[in-house]
Amino acid sequence: MLKKLRLIEEEEPELHVGWNEKTKDILIKVMGEVQIEVLKTRIEERFGVSVDFGTGHIVYRETIADTVEGVGHFEPLRHYAEVHLRLEPGEEGSGLSFFTECSEDMLAKNWQRLVLTHLKEKEHVGVLTGSAITDMKITLVAGRAHVKHTEGGDFRQATYRALRQGLMQAKSVLLEPWYDFRLEIPEELIGRAMTDIDRRYGTMQPPETKDGKAYLSGSAPVATMQDYAKDVTAYTRGRGRLSLTLAGYRPCHNAEEVIGQIGYDPEADLLNPTGSVFCAHGAGFIVPWQEVKNYMHIEGQEEENHSLEPSFDGSTGRERPVYAEEEWLDPEEIDAILDRTYHANKKESGSTRKWSRPKTRPVYADPVVRSAAKKVQEKEYLLVDGYNVIFAWDELNELAKVNLDGARGKLLDILCDYQGIRGCELIVVFDAYRVAGHPTEISDYHNIHVVFTKEAETADQFIEKFAHENGRRYRVTVATSDGLEQIIIRGAGCALISSRELEAEIADAKKRMNENYVNHKAAQVQEKTKTYLLDDLDEKMAEQIKKIREDGDLSF
């Protein structure tokens, strides 16, 4: 049957026939009941087959509302390609447009054309419902190939992954098809018609009346207007007429409901992966989309401004980016390089003027020279996993059962006191990943920094990212009792302290501070309680005693 429908599709370009591999269903995109009836009649007359159509569904589209840069990397063993794409919102109804701004010094022209070909060759899907994307401007801004290892298919994978990684970062918008309608009804039914259009989330112009007829024009979603022609015929008793024309795609009126019904998980879509493939120790490994920029080989356009020190902007509540890393070689490594460079052709000891049979000696692989991130300065950071600590401390745990905000506030006050004693940069991180649309929120609370993570990012992920970027450049300590997170933190070169140990450390620090204060006050009191000979004498007697001491005259 699919082959027969393909024949009709070739004759009628506006008819789109598809195949759903999962459900084994034939899908046909049509507009309304009339086209369905015409198609049924045509199939029966031409092929002698009586067909029926099940209940269809709306064909949605997706676009984005902000500009992002997506990165795709594909590097299994002996393969290599990296692609950077800038995704920008387009005009309504503009579809997809593709451009390149990549220098040929960075990526050869033939590879650039290949990337654009891969962007155009398939229908790319979004990350909300898996629907096709539209109304976007996609620009190739950077790319890299390997002289020996890059093959054509590598750029296909890198391009697809760059697009998906960008979509995961962007604010996506679900689109649905809309109709332009014109409704002709008896004048006395104008109120009923306007109420119907309003209930169907439509918009309309002021009605026009002429010769006992009323005319309404406007737009409404296809989903709500599919069966309205039957309703018009019913309540006007055949005296009304509804004309519908496809107006294009606009933001969906019930996006959250549609997304929930479809239940699409972009990270579980194996045909459209969001992560990238990198290579280490001779084997490829998958990097999730949110961590790709920590591994990418080309610096993106978003990383043009470099900063050596992580910092927080209290006025904007945003984290200033950290990008540049200085590298250094210790003296032993430098000596090894010089020895291999300048003494590689040095002959064996003995006379260099006489010929001798070359000595056979084992061949060893050159030592691997590794670089280490240089610590710019010994600045100290303490990162605290907020909720992990709250539920690990008995006092705060009991308070959290009654009022979580109260427990959070008390923890911040305790850490403010501790920061005054320790004198480090203290950052408390709280999860806010379940709050829809929540951006990363960074603020100052007295003398410490407080972070609420963005949507879909846990406190663990934020801390691991911070540790990965700064763990080998600064003295970073992380307070958490999460076992898996501790392994990752240690691998990033950071110090660890459990939530219980932090509680004990704070108690000891306060105890030491109190003891020092008491000892200091006692010393001051002791200094004040010493009694001297002249302290309690009046001024005249004190002068006489002073004169006696100076003259040695003991007579009065």
Helix H or strand E encompassing 399: helix 394-402
Q: What is the pLDDT of residue 266?
A: 93
In the block, tokens 């506030």 appear at: 409
Q: What is the pLDDT of residue 55?
A: 67
| Cα-Cα-Cα-Cα dihedral sign, residues 393, 399, 401, 406 | negative
What is the residue type of 236? T
Q: What is the pLDDT of residue 544?
A: 78
What is the SS3 assignment for 312?
A: strand
Q: What is the pLDDT of residue 333?
A: 52
Q: Which of 37, 28, 31, 32 is nearest to 4 (CA)?
A: 28
Q: Which of 466, 511, 520 is nearest to 492 (CA)?
A: 466
Q: What angle do CA 388, 434, 384 make, to 5 degrees?
A: 25
In the block, tokens 């509680």 appear at: 503
Contacts of 192 (CB under 8 A, 6+ apart): 235
Going along the chain from its start, the domains and CATH numbers come out as 2-56 (3.30.70.870), 62-170+274-295 (3.30.230.10), 174-257 (3.30.70.240), 380-504 (3.40.50.1010)
Going along 321-447, which residue ranges are E strands? Answer: 327-328, 372-373, 380-385, 425-430, 441-445
Q: Which of 159, 163, 139, 141 is nearest to 81 (CA)?
A: 159
| Residues forming beta bridges with residue 221, ordered by sequence position | 178
For the record, the structure tokens of 20 come out as 């759903």
Q: What is the CA radius of gyration of the chain?
A: 37
Q: How far apart are CA 395 and CA 417, in angstroms?
A: 17
Q: Which residues of the chain have pLDDT under 50?
A: 304-331, 334, 338, 342, 344, 347-376, 556
Q: What is the pLDDT of residue 169?
A: 95
Kind of pairing between the strands at 380-385 and 425-430: parallel
Q: How many CA atoms lie within 13 A of 484 on its CB side?
A: 2
Supply the DSSP string of 458-500, one letter for each residue.
Answer: -HHHHHHHHHHHHTTTSEEEEE---HHHHHHHHHTT-EEE-HH
Q: What is the pLDDT of residue 111?
A: 94
Question: What is the CA 133 to chain-centroid distance, rounded?
Answer: 20
Q: What is the pLDDT of residue 484?
A: 66
Q: What is the pLDDT of residue 112?
A: 94
Q: What is the pLDDT of residue 316?
A: 38
Question: What is the CA 366 to chain-centroid distance, rounded?
Answer: 40
| Residues forming beta bridges with residue 32, ordered by sequence position | none
Confirm if 322 and 309 have CB atoms less than 8 A apart: yes
Confirm if 273 and 292 have CB atoms less than 8 A apart: no
Q: How far apart are CA 493 and CA 452, in angstroms?
A: 24
Q: How far apart are CA 225 and CA 163, in angstroms?
A: 34
Q: How far apart are CA 300 and CA 85, in angstroms?
A: 10
Confirm if 132 and 124 have CB atoms less than 8 A apart: yes
Q: Indicate the length of the chain as a whole number.
A: 556
Confirm if 8 and 42 have CB atoms less than 8 A apart: yes
For the beta carbon of residue 235, count every other beta carbon within 10 angstroms: 15
- Rounded to the nearest 5°, which phi and psi values hold at 21? -65, -35
Supply the DSSP string of 187-230, one letter for each residue.
Answer: GGGHHHHHHHHHHTT-EEPPPEEETTEEEEEEEEEHHHHTTHHH
For the record, the structure tokens of 44 come out as 């029966």
Helix H or strand E encompassing 162: helix 152-169
Contacts of 33 (CB under 8 A, 6+ apart): 229
Q: How far apart are CA 141 and CA 107, in angstroms?
A: 10
Enter the pTM of the model: 0.52
Q: Which of 157, 114, 421 is nearest to 276 (CA)?
A: 157
Residue 44: C-alpha distances to residues 26, 36, 324 (Å): 17, 12, 69
Q: What is the pLDDT of residue 356?
A: 46
Residue spans of alpha helices (H) in 312-393: 331-342, 386-390
Question: What is the CA 496 to chain-centroid distance, rounded?
Answer: 26
To 10 degrees, what angle do helices 499-529 and 404-422 make? Answer: 50
Supply the DSSP string of 252-310, one letter for each residue.
Answer: -TTHHHHHHHH---GGG-TTS--SEEEEETTEEEEE-GGGHHHH-SS--GGG-S--SS-
Question: What is the CA 89 to chain-centroid distance, rounded?
Answer: 18
What is the SS3 assignment for 334?
A: helix
Q: Which of 497, 490, 472, 509 is nearest to 378 (CA)?
A: 472
